[in-house]
Amino acid sequence: MANTNQYINPLIVQRADPYIYKHTDGYYYFTASVPAYNLIEIRRAKTLAGLAHAAPRTIWRKHESGPMSQLIWAPELHYIDGKWFVYFAAAETTALDENGMFQHRMFCIECDAENPMESEDNWFEHGQVVTDKDTFCLDATCFEANDKLYYVWAQKDKAIRGNSNLYIAEMENPWTLKTKPVMLSKPEFDWEIIGFWVNEGPAIIHRNGRYFLTYSASATDENYAMGMLTVKDDVDLLDASNWSKSKEPVFKSDLATHQYGPGHNSFTVAEDGKTDIMVYHCRDYTEIKGDPLYDPNRHTKVQPFTWNDDGTPNFGKPVPYNYD
């Protein structure tokens, strides 16, 4: 059984939507939403624990106006064909539309330097990642399978109740979709529709002949929880019927240890190169003053997880805070 207390938690305070990538250079790279939602930063360290004290480097700042000028959310750092890419969501305004929705779209920036932290000047904008719907969308991730690059994200469909569903498409290149988006999941179970009808924050891990897609659902308070989709790795990933969806959450709040609303996760591997690590954010209280969106205390946590006999992940419960 993995030692779930081997890391200090929270690892990094006031960083929601955390993403950690272990690169071939031996460094862990970390990015996440910053509380001001005004820039994208990266930090790196040789160990997961070292990320807590690593100096962040700003690689991109929001525009003064236009589609990339407000509410910079959920950056993810990916290394594809020798270049670095960051996916993120941004909006033109903080105002809500006629349906009470934010107005985010998804964007991509690229860096071809060996070290992505060298300078802001090394990053250039590809602009919006365009889908088949001009609606609220966010939380993009990507993964490679069978020599193809796939894009997974959350988006609003005006014909479907709720804020966002999960979609997948093959990519022509890291900033352009090649195929028509396919919906993999929508909010439907009771635990997915508390406060808001939401499926968002997808993350992919490949093990035991399957791809596991975790995601987060419901409002971003103590009701926020993680679900999971599963597909065999030798079938058509763009056929939604090949994916199965867990009816119950696979990771949720633990009231006994005051861990509330765990979610928007990513996956990495421990220093031993073997142990799987889940990265996610969480709060330790439920009484949020004002809009939960602007409460900065969703902290980054990391914990090892194991695998069940049937080859599925066992995430356990959110580990308690253990810092002094």
Catalytic residues: 17, 200
Task: State the pairing for strand pair 244-245/137-145.
Answer: unpaired
CA dihedral (323, 33, 314, 145) in degrees, to 10, reads -140
Sign of CA dihedral 260, 211, 272, 267: negative
CB 288 within 8 A of CB 221: yes
Within the chain, where are the H helices?
A: none
Contact 187, 165 (CB under 8 A): yes
Element containing residue 211 per DSSP (H, E): strand 210-217
Instruction: Give the sign of the dihedral formed by CA 47, CA 56, CA 120, CA 110.
Output: positive
What 3 state SS string does 302-314 have? Answer: EEECEECCCCCEE
Burial class (CB within 10 angstroms; exposed 0-12, middle 13-18, buried 19+) of 77: buried
